[in-house]
Structure 1
């Protein structure tokens, strides 16, 4: 790391760490996109390219003892919370060394030791789990927090209102984070959603905020306030992080749509511009305000690239998952 004068070294180190974590998520997902296209993965993948700032901004304010629940688009959340990229890649390749021993796949990455209660293949599936984790913290009289990361499609599931109400009535230490990327699978969210999402939280007396989800520092600041409130016994908060996903709903999207497109190429390109892309935006700010030199960013790029290649090699070299595990982890004592 270069030594530039007149710069707060703590802030600089923190900002570079945020940048590196976002870049790790982006490069990991870009590699997964290529391998999915090449047919190297045993299952489909739902990527969060373009949404890295919300994942990293949220998880940078959490500790291992804090819980998160995720979505089917959960690779970024997993890595942002400190999950091991090698174990995640091994899982996606269906290997025994995977974080779920190769039996969970892309939509179920989890690591309870890091507070990652799991991604979820069910839209909105993590919502009630996060409320339950908050209830457990409350009963244990602990100061940990539970964070629920969910999308705008999941926000229209009835379980959200039930869980918001329960967490508000009993002051559960839950931070509800809606990653509003404007699209619910293949449908533009505004076409199927009435009113403001934040009003749903306000209806149960919960503080609610909307932030620029592509500004990692804005997300971080909003989450810091919500986490402090939860830890001090103040109850839940609701944060809507407005962002955008660059890739499709899943990498095999074209096979589902049969030529139909719900977004234009111009719209996607606009969100890839330097003033909107979360990584390009933050790189510019680092160079302008954070005291970082281009050499610092190049060093991070090289380090991340090496991590990704090591993770891919680890996954490819690992043994395939053991099908017999099905009788241990799913159908216990039910062997035919």
Structure 2
């Protein structure tokens, strides 16, 4: 059965290019303490996992490139709250947080960091290539903006099969300068694809500040030029992120086309573990740390009367045990035997037919 291509003659319903600003979420009498606790635990899991990776990398247990997500946890957690297991996620090479928020176990991610066969990519991907098709988590892509065309393909497949699913693609502000973004944005709007663009604007493309590589730094406004709904969000506020993501996903599911979220966030650590981080002012880093997404949510929960400190102590203990187990399992897991190194690299020889 052939799949029809998107019609080129259909006159689409005009979509208003909207640029909105999502303000910081505020605590209220209707705030769900249980849900906030879940958000807090998810962010703490990412933060503690990343901190353990720093220790393991320094001890040469983890090798290769490692890009930490510390400071940006609210983005991955908030956006994933708006998605269903049937939706697809495409991430960047700074994707440990996305993978954990998507539900991939710390054990599977840590084993992949170690390059062991029990890792989510069989030990072949390492830090930058986490993958789990069962979770519809399609990378982990080491090429800047490389995940965007893949996301468009996933969204197009769902559209042609008439499946009401959303594809969410995370990418950084540096990817905004790449041709792949503009090509993907154009086709997504032209073909009315169910695609959520999530730009994690942490102000630096590797070591280059946003204002040094973009003439117009309002990325959400620029995204509206493709006729898609777009707005900027406080990426340090997990509740604001979740609210914005839910609005965007709802709009996509109702057929209003792709949406673009600019999540204004900040990484507290350098670009990678190799990076000496000499291009940022230390005072700037401290200013952003004063808006730590974990601290922000904890303060909001305290203000609402929730017993945060007592609950966090239990959560921290549980997360520590989870990560300890993940490290122990990774260190005991086998490496891939040399005999199978060409598996998935070259095709198997055809069997001789007598």
Structure 2 length normalisation: TM-score?
A: 0.88
- Paired positions, count: 322
Instruction: Work out which of the two has the higher radius of gyration on C-alpha atoms and give 1 or 2.
Output: 2
Tell me how far 1:290 sits from its aligned partner.
6.5
In structure 1, what is the equivalent of residue 48 of structure 2?
A: 27
In structure 2, distance between residues paired with 1:140 and 1:236: 17
Asked if structure 1 preserves the Cα contact closer than 8 Å seen for 2:298 and 2:308, the reply is no
In structure 2, what is the equivalent of residue 321 of structure 1?
A: 336
In structure 1, distance between residues paired with 2:69 and 2:165: 27
One of 216, 222, 232 as aligned partner of 1:200: 222
Asked if structure 2 preserves the Cα contact closer than 8 Å seen for 1:95 and 1:321, the reply is yes
Q: Relative to structure 1, is the Cα distance of residues 14 and 106 closer, same or farther in structure 2, using a 3 angstrom cutoff?
A: same
Deviates most, 280-289 or 168-177: 280-289
In structure 2, distance between residues paired with 1:182 and 1:229: 27
* 5+ long unaligned stretches in structure 2: 1-27
Quote the RMSD (CA, aligned, Å): 1.7
One of 82, 86, 102 as aligned partner of 1:65: 86
What are the within-5 Å matches in structure 2 for residues 245-256 of structure 1?
A: 245-254=267-276
* 5+ long unaligned stretches in structure 1: 1-5, 255-259
| Secondary structure of residue in 2 paired with 1:117 | coil
In structure 2, distance between residues paired with 1:290 and 1:64: 33
Q: Name the structure with the higher helix share.
A: 1
Tell me how far 1:321 sits from its aligned partner.
2.6
In structure 1, what is the equivalent of residue 109 of structure 2?
A: 88
Deviations 1:159-216 (A, max 9, x none): 1111111111111001100000000001112111111211332111111100000000
Moved >6 Å (runs of 4+): none
In structure 1, distance between residues paired with 2:60 and 2:156: 42
| Secondary structure of residue in 2 paired with 1:246 | coil
Q: Relative to structure 1, is the Cα distance of residues 279 and 106 closer, same or farther in structure 2, using a 3 angstrom cutoff?
A: same
Tell me how far 1:317 sits from its aligned partner.
1.1
In structure 1, distance between residues paired with 2:339 and 2:106: 25
Tell me how far 1:44 sits from its aligned partner.
2.0
One of 212, 215, 236 as aligned partner of 1:214: 236
Deviations 1:52-90 (A, max 9, x none): 001100001111111011001010011111111100000
- The answer to whether structure 1 residue 172 and structure 2 residue 193 are counterparts is yes
In structure 2, what is the equivalent of residue 3 of structure 1?
A: none
In structure 2, distance between residues paired with 1:40 and 1:23: 23
In structure 2, distance between residues paired with 1:155 and 1:324: 41
- The answer to whether structure 1 residue 146 and structure 2 residue 161 are counterparts is no
One of 315, 318, 324 as aligned partner of 1:300: 315
What are the within-5 Å matches in structure 2 for residues 75-114 of structure 1?
A: 75-114=96-135
Asked if structure 2 preserves the Cα contact closer than 8 Å seen for 1:12 and 1:292, the reply is no
| Secondary structure of residue in 2 paired with 1:240 | strand
Q: Relative to structure 1, is the Cα distance of residues 324 and 232 closer, same or farther in structure 2, using a 3 angstrom cutoff?
A: farther
